[in-house]
């Protein structure tokens, strides 16, 4: 089964990860683990500040190969341990609006025979933002990150 976009503003990545869902979820919620897989190599993730609860803030900082850093602030909207995470970049800590709301991410983690059905839905505010995310390499970049996530989750 492959999840499909719900509309023309959504991008979807649907993968069966060869690791239990509690470990895959932990890779998304433990700051030390996030720094090991979040950015597609050769990019890195020098920092992840996570307050994993509804209304909690998160800032994951990615760095390009030259060391230029790109912080990505957001707020968790929904947290269901080992099942679902929803966060948006529309707000940062203290519910402060960000300069540009780009998308809301909905992640689901479902047990599938000891493996994890992992679905990432990138829900954009506009079709143009979705197209921009595609051009940035959503499918390739999120695919690489998911490979890195799976490799790490298998070691936990």
Arithmetic mean of pLDDT, 12-25: 98
pLDDT score at 116: 98
Please give the model's pTM, rounded to 2 decimal places. 0.95
Q: What is the extent of the structural domain holding 80?
A: 10-153
Q: Is residue 3 included in any domain, yes or no?
A: no
Query: DSSP characters for 74-93?
Result: EEEEEEETTTEEEEESSEEG
97-153 pLDDT, tens digit each? 999 899 999 999 999 999 999 999 999 999 999 999 999 999 999 999 999 999 999
Q: How far is CA 74 from CA 37, 50, 87, in A?
A: 18, 10, 7
Long-range contacts of 89-95 (CB under 8 A, 24+ apart): 92/57, 92/59, 93/57, 93/59, 94/57, 95/55
Residue 2: per-residue pLDDT: 86
Note whether residue 86 is domain-resident.
yes
Q: Is residue 2 part of a domain?
A: no
Q: pLDDT digit string (tens) for 45-91?
A: 999 999 999 999 999 999 999 999 999 999 999 999 999 999 999 99
pLDDT of residue 37: 98
Indicate the number of domains in the chain. Answer: 1
Going by pLDDT thresholds of 50, 70 and 90, the confidence category of residue 1 is low
Say if 74 falls within a structural domain: yes
The CATH number assigned to the domain holding 90 equals 3.30.530.20
Write down the H helix ranges in the chain: 21-29, 31-37, 127-135, 138-153
Q: Would 4 be classed as within a structural domain?
A: no
The residue-averaged pLDDT of 24-47 equals 97
């Amino acid at each position: 089964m492959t999840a499909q976009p719900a509309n023309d503003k959504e991008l979807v990545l649907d993968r069966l990860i060869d690791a239990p869902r509690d470990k895959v979820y932990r890779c998304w919620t433990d700051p030390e683990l996030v720094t090991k897989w979040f950015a597609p190599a050769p990019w890195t993730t020098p920092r992840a500040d996570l307050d994993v609860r509804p209304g909690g803030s998160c800032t994951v900082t990615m760095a390009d190969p030259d060391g230029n850093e790109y912080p990505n602030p957001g707020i968790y909207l929904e947290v269901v341990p080992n099942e679902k995470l929803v966060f948006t970049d529309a707000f940062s800590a203290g519910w402060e609006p960000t300069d540009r709301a780009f998308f809301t991410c909905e992640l689901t983690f479902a047990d599938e025979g000891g493996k994890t059905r992992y679905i990432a839905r990138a829900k954009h505010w506009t079709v143009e933002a979705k197209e921009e995310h595609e051009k940035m390499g959503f499918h390739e970049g999120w695919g690489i990150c998911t490979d890195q996530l799976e490799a790490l989750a298998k070691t936990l």
